Structure 1
Amino acid sequence: MPSDAPDPCKRLATVTLDEESIGRGNPDQEHERAIAIYDILEANRFAVANHDGGPYALTLGLVENKLAFGIATAEGQPVMTHLLSLTPFRGVIRDYEMICESYFKAIRTASPSQIEAIDMGRRGVHNEASELLRQRLDGKVEVDHDTARRLFTLIFALHWKG
């Protein structure tokens, strides 16, 4: 295997949502969640610190207003549960929501250069959020930049509770 090839063990094989804690959304929300999961599974790097047993199955849920990363091997052997406070994400989620609203309004009426400027801002906030996620997972779970971006997309999609 070439040295720059991804390690097949350091990835997510499945991502599921704990419907009991998260709840179902409306059809648009469910569609956004499904797209986010699909994007994560298409390409990701995900490794649990001090564990060599991937690929992994990730279940996301909410426990006492914290995001629960339930991690198991692809075969179902529990590896760990990591609870992540959502408090540090509130500001960036609010900013991302506002800029997404501006972006979707701009698509209908703004010039291409205005749309591009808003989209650059949206990508910047998304990058900021993904870096925050990587920092919050540091020492527990290693993810690359693109996987962190996709996980933030899913976290953002989860902030709707029906």
Structure 2
Amino acid sequence: MRDSARLIAIDLDETSIERSTPDIEHERAVAIYDLLADNQFEPAGDTGGPYRLKIAVVEKKLVFAVERESGEPVVTHILSLGPFRRIVKDYFLICESYFEAIKTATPSQIEAIDMGRRGVHNDGSQLLVERLEGKITVDFDTARRLFTLVCALHWKG
């Protein structure tokens, strides 16, 4: 991909994404920081990057509004969150298991749970790549970071 095929800013729509606890707000900020630090992102048929991404959740749909660095709109894509529901739920359950395990489990048990967590995270990332196919081109690492952010939008605390 070209050097300009990347995100330089991510804004969460405060009218559709509720503020949460300080810990969860921190997780969201970290997810955004990680995503901006290293990503490949290009709307299909566009070569005018770098891009800004505004994310909203409207009627159980994920809204990606892509803009140029100047703020000029490029495209808006709406993805149903339905296909992600099971994977996000599984991811949260395995994360809970992991955090409980680190209190009392053996290192090999913790490693096994963490491998499962990474597997579920990879499944969610692959689903995101598939849902964005033909709309936005991302590499797998960018999809992983975007999936982390999608999960962070759903954490209740």
Same structural fold, with TM-score higher than 0.5 when normalized by the shorter chain:
yes
**Corresponding residue for residue 3 of structure 1:** none
5+ residue gaps in structure 2?
none
Q: Give the Cα separation in 2 of the matches to 1:147 and 1:78.
A: 21
Q: Any idea what SS the aligned residue of 1:139 has?
A: coil
- Structure 1 unaligned runs (5+)? 1-5
2:105 aligned to which of 107, 110, 129 = 110
Shift of 1:159: 1.0
Counterparts of 2:120 and 2:59, CA distance in 1: 26
Q: Which residue of 2 aligns with 1:68?
A: 63
In structure 1, C-alpha distance between the alignment counterparts of 2:69 and 2:91, rounded to whole Å: 32
Q: CA deviation at 1:156?
A: 0.3
Offset from partner CA, 1:14-59 (integer Å, 9 cap, x none): 0110011102111011011000000000100001000010010001
CA distance in 2, matches of 1:38, 1:91: 26
Match of 2:127 among 132, 146, 149: 132
| C-alpha RMSD of matched pairs (Å) | 1.1
- Aligned residue pairs total 157
Q: Paired residue for 1:95, among 72, 82, 90?
A: 90
* Correspondence 1:157 to 2:142: no
What is the identity percentage for the equivalent residue pairs of Structure 1 and Structure 2? 61
CA distance in 2, matches of 1:160, 1:105: 17
Give the TM-score taking structure 1 as reference length: 0.94
For residues 75-133 of structure 1, give each alpha carbon's deviation from its aligned partner in whole angstroms, at most 9, with x where no partner exists: 11100110000000000001000000000111111111011000000000000000000
Structure 1 stretches (4+) deviating beyond 3 angstroms?
A: none
Distance 2:57 2:88 in 1: 16
TM-score scaled to structure 2, two decimals?
A: 0.97
2:77 partner letter: H
Q: Which residue of 2 aligns with 1:9?
A: 4
